[in-house]
Structure 1
Amino acid sequence: MTTNDLIPVADAIPVDWRWLYFFLVLTFVLHLLFMNAMLGSAIMAFVGELREKNAGPGRDISTKLPYTIAFTVNLGVAPLLFLQVLYGQFIYVSSVLMAGFWLAVIGLIIMLYYSAYIYDFRFEKMPAARTFFIGLTVLLGLIVAFLFTNNMTFMLRTETWQEYFGNRSGTLLNLKDPTLLPRYLHFAVASVAVGGLFQAILAKQRKALPYREKRMNQGMRWFTTATVVQILIGFWFLISLPIEVMLSFMGGAVPNTVVFVLGLVGAVVSLAFGFTRRVWPTTVATVVTVVLMAIVRDLVRGEFLKPVFHPSDLKVVAQYSPMIVFLIALVLGLGLVAYMLYLAANSGKEAE
C-alpha cells in the first residue's frame, strides 16, 4: 500500500475553488486577529499578576477576555469549514489520526471559557486565586493551539499516515515533524505581539484611563519585543521546511517569493512604527502583514501537497445559492461584530 492509496476521494465543490480560497484566507485572518488578541492579552494579564498584582493591567484585560474568546471561537468556525471543503480528504484523515486529542479540544475550550469568566467576574472577590485562573486560561489556550498546529501539519505529511496501522487509538501526534515546534512558537509569539498592540489600541481610545500613556507604551513594548522574536522564529520555521518548499520562497517560485518578501517587509515596517509608538500606523502595517503571512501559510500548504493535490483538481457541481446566503450572512455578521466591538471598546468610558 502506498501513501496515495490512503488519500480519500475528494468531494465535489459548489463554486470555483478560488472563491472558497478567498473566503478561507479572509475568515482565517479575522479569526487569527481575534485569537492572537485574546491569547496575547491573557498572557500579558498572567505576567502582570505575577509581577505587579493590583498595579498590573489585569482588571482592564479581564473585562475584554470574554468578548475576545467569543469572537475567536465563532470566527474560527468559517475558516475550518472552508478548509474542510477545499482540503477535506486531508484534514479528515489527520483528524482521525489524532481523534482523541481533536475531540478533547471542545472540552478544553469550555474550560478555557470558564476560567476566563471566573477571572473576570471574581476579579475583586478572589484576589488570591486570580493568578491561577488567568494562568489556567493561558495554559488551555496554548494546549488548544498546539493541538491545532499538530492537525494542520499532520494533514500535510501524508507519508506519516501509515503510522495509524501501528496505533489505531486516535492518539497520534505529529511530534517528529521538524516544522511543528517553530510553526507553533511562531503562532504563540505572534499572539503576544498582537495582544500588546490590542491593549495599546484600547488604552489610546480611553483618554480618561488612569496611567493611559503607561498602558499604551507597555502594550507597544510587548508588541515590539515579541515581533523581533517572532521574526527570528519565522526564519527558523523557514529553514525547517523541506528544501524544495523552502526554496520556493527564496526565488524558486516567483509568486511565493514575492508574497513572502512583502510579508517580511510588512513585519519590518510594523516594527519601525512600533518602536516610535505610533499605534494606528502600527495597526495598519500589522493587519497587512497578517494577511500576507496568512497567504504564505496557505502557499506552504500548497507546496507540501503539490505532488498529490491542488484545489483546482476539485470537480465543480455548480450550486450558487449557498454561497449567496453565506455572503449575506457574512456581511450582516461582520456588521454586528463591528458594532459589538465598538460597544466593548467604549464600555467603561461612562465610569471614567
Structure 2
Amino acid sequence: MDAATTANMLQTMQDQAGIPSHPLIFQILMVFTWIPHILFVNISLGAALVGLYAFTKRQDPNWQLLSEAMTKVAKVGVSLLVVLGVAPLLFTQTIYDPSWYASNVLSAAWVIGFIFTLTIGYLAWFTFYLKNHGAQAPGWIFWLGVFGLAMFLLDGFIMHVLAYQGLHPEKWLSWYTPGGHVDMSGTAIHAFELPRWGFFMAMSLTIFGAFLIAYGDYFKVRADRAPAYLDFARALGAKIAITGALLQVVLLLWWLIDVPAQVHVWTHPMTWLLAAYLFVLLAAFWLARSNNAGQGYRLLAMSIGMAALVSIFREVLRMAYLHPFNYDILNYKVLWDIPSFALFLFTIVVVGGLMGGFIITLVYKAGRVQGPYEADATVTKLGNGSLASTAIWVVVFIGTGIWIWLRNNG
C-alpha cells in the first residue's frame, strides 16, 4: 500500500471512542512502566542461563550455591516480569491499537501459543528449582531447565515479532492476503529483526551481570554467606556484564544499519546518547572488574539508567517508523473522563506507590537478616499505609459506581 492509503487505514483502525485523557500521559506511562518489566526479563534470562551453567559445575561449592540461588532468582523473576508486563502492554494497546491488534491478528496462533509455552516453560523451570538442591542433584533435571529457558527465549522472540510487525503497516495487507488469497490461520511469522532481538538478549547479560555484583554486596552483612563466595559472584558478574555491554554496542550498530533509511534514526540525538551511555557503562564495568566490592549498587543503578534510555529510544524509533504514515499519538481523539482518570492516578501513584514501596522495602530488609525478620517502624508504616490506601480505593470505586447508578436510574 502507498503511504496515503496506509495513513487512512491507521486512522480508521483507531478506537473511535477515543481515550479518556491526553495521549502524552499514556505514552510517558508506557515508556516508564516498561523499564521494570524489561529489567526482570533481563535478570530472569541471565539468572536462568547462569543457573544452568553453574549446575554443570555443581561439584564446586561456589558454583553449587550460585546455581541454587540463581535458579530461585529466575523463578521469582519470571512471575514478576509477567505481572509488570501488564501495564506497558495496556498503554501500548491504548495509543497504538492499530499496530498492536493488527500484528496480533496476523500471528494469532503464536499469540495464543505464547500462553501455553510460557506456562509449560515455567512448570519445567519450577521443577528444576525443586530438584536443584545439593551437589548430588539428579543430572536429568538439567534438561528440564534447558527446556524452560528455551521456552522463555521463544516467548521473548514472539513478543519481539509482534512489536516489530506493528512497525510496518504498509505490509499488513500483503501479509494478510499473500498471493491474493486471504490467510486467516495466524500461523505465520511475517517479520523479525535479528539485531534488535539480539540487542535485548545481550542486554540480559549486562543487567544480570550488574545484578550479580550487587548480589555480592547485598549479602555481605549475612554471616551465612562466605566472603569468598561473594567475591566469586562479583567477579563473575563483572565478566558477564562486560561481555553483555560489548555485545550491546556491536548489536546496536548492526540494528541501526538495519533500520530503513527513511526512518532517519542516525540523525536523532537519542541514538547517540544511548550509544555514548553504553560506552560509559562498558568502561565502568571494565574499571571495576578487578575490585568491584562495594560498587554493586552504583553499577546496578547505571544499568537501570541504560534500560531507561533503551525504553525511550524504543519509543522514539516507533514514532519514527510510523511518521511517514502521519500517525501521531498526539492527534488521538480525546474524550476527557475526569473521575476515571483521577481514580486511575490514585491507583497507580498512591496505592501502587505505597504497596510497591512496602513490598520492596520489606523484601530488601528481610533478605539481609539471617533467620526471622521483625519489621521496623518504616516497614510497619508503609504496610499500614498500603492497607489504608487500598481500603480508600475500594470505598471510592464502589461508591462511584453506586453514585453513577443512582444518578442514571433515580
Opposite residue 209 of structure 2, the aligned amino acid is G
| Counterparts in 2 of 1:226 and 1:24: CA distance versus 1, 3 Å | same
Opposite residue 45 of structure 1, the aligned amino acid is G
1:35 aligns with 2:41: yes
1:174 aligns with 2:190: yes
1:129 aligns with 2:140: yes
Give ranges in structure 1 of 5+ residues lacking alignment.
none
Opposite residue 9 of structure 1, the aligned amino acid is M
Give ranges in structure 2 of 5+ residues lacking alignment.
373-410
Aligned-pair distance for 1:139? 0.5
CA contact (8 A) 1:196 1:219 kept: yes
Equivalent position of 1:22 in the other structure: 28
Q: Secondary structure at the match of 1:172?
A: coil
* RMSD, aligned α-carbons: 2.1
| Counterparts in 2 of 1:54 and 1:69: CA distance versus 1, 3 Å | farther
Alignment map for 1:6-85 (pairs within 5 Å): 6-7=9-10, 8-11=12-15, 12-50=18-56, 52-55=57-60, 56=63, 57-85=66-94
Opposite residue 165 of structure 1, the aligned amino acid is T
Opposite residue 122 of structure 1, the aligned amino acid is K
Q: Secondary structure at the match of 2:280?
A: helix
Aligned-pair distance for 1:223? 0.7
Q: Secondary structure at the match of 1:249?
A: coil
Opposite residue 305 of structure 2, the aligned amino acid is V
Equivalent position of 2:382 in the other structure: none
Corresponding residue pairs, total: 339
Q: Deviations over 1:216-251 (max 9, x none)?
A: 110111011111011101110011000122xx3333
1:293 aligns with 2:299: no
Q: Secondary structure at the match of 2:324?
A: coil
Opposite residue 318 of structure 1, the aligned amino acid is W
Corresponding residue to 1:218 among 230, 233, 236: 236
Partners of 2:262 and 2:8 lie apart in 1 by 23
CA contact (8 A) 1:190 1:227 kept: yes
Corresponding residue to 2:281 among 270, 277, 287: 270
1:330 aligns with 2:352: yes
Partners of 1:340 and 1:144 lie apart in 2 by 31
CA contact (8 A) 2:14 2:98 kept: yes
Aligned-pair distance for 1:343? 5.8
Partners of 1:143 and 1:336 lie apart in 2 by 34
Equivalent position of 1:205 in the other structure: 218
Opposite residue 53 of structure 1, the aligned amino acid is R
TM-score (normalised: structure 2) = 0.78
Opposite residue 155 of structure 1, the aligned amino acid is G
Q: Secondary structure at the match of 1:174?
A: coil
Q: Deviations over 1:36-58 (max 9, x none)?
A: 011111111122234x1343221
Which 4+ stretches in 1 moved above 6 angstroms?
A: none
Partners of 1:189 and 1:237 lie apart in 2 by 13
Q: Deviations over 1:237-290 (max 9, x none)?
A: 011000122xx3333xxxx31x22222222122212212133233222211111
| Counterparts in 2 of 1:345 and 1:157: CA distance versus 1, 3 Å | farther
Corresponding residue to 2:169 among 146, 158, 166: 158
Partners of 1:126 and 1:72 lie apart in 2 by 28
TM-score (normalised: structure 1) = 0.90
Task: State, as a whole percentage, how many aligned pairs show the same letter.
Answer: 23
Partners of 1:304 and 1:333 lie apart in 2 by 37
Opposite residue 321 of structure 1, the aligned amino acid is A
1:120 aligns with 2:141: no
Opposite residue 330 of structure 1, the aligned amino acid is G
Opposite residue 323 of structure 1, the aligned amino acid is F
Corresponding residue to 2:200 among 172, 175, 187: 187
**Which of the two has higher C-alpha Rg?**
2
Q: Deviations over 1:121-168 (max 9, x none)?
A: 221384212311221221011100100000000011112212112322
Opposite residue 85 of structure 1, the aligned amino acid is T
Partners of 2:334 and 2:6 lie apart in 1 by 26
CA contact (8 A) 1:64 1:344 kept: no
| Counterparts in 2 of 1:273 and 1:173: CA distance versus 1, 3 Å | same
Partners of 1:41 and 1:238 lie apart in 2 by 28
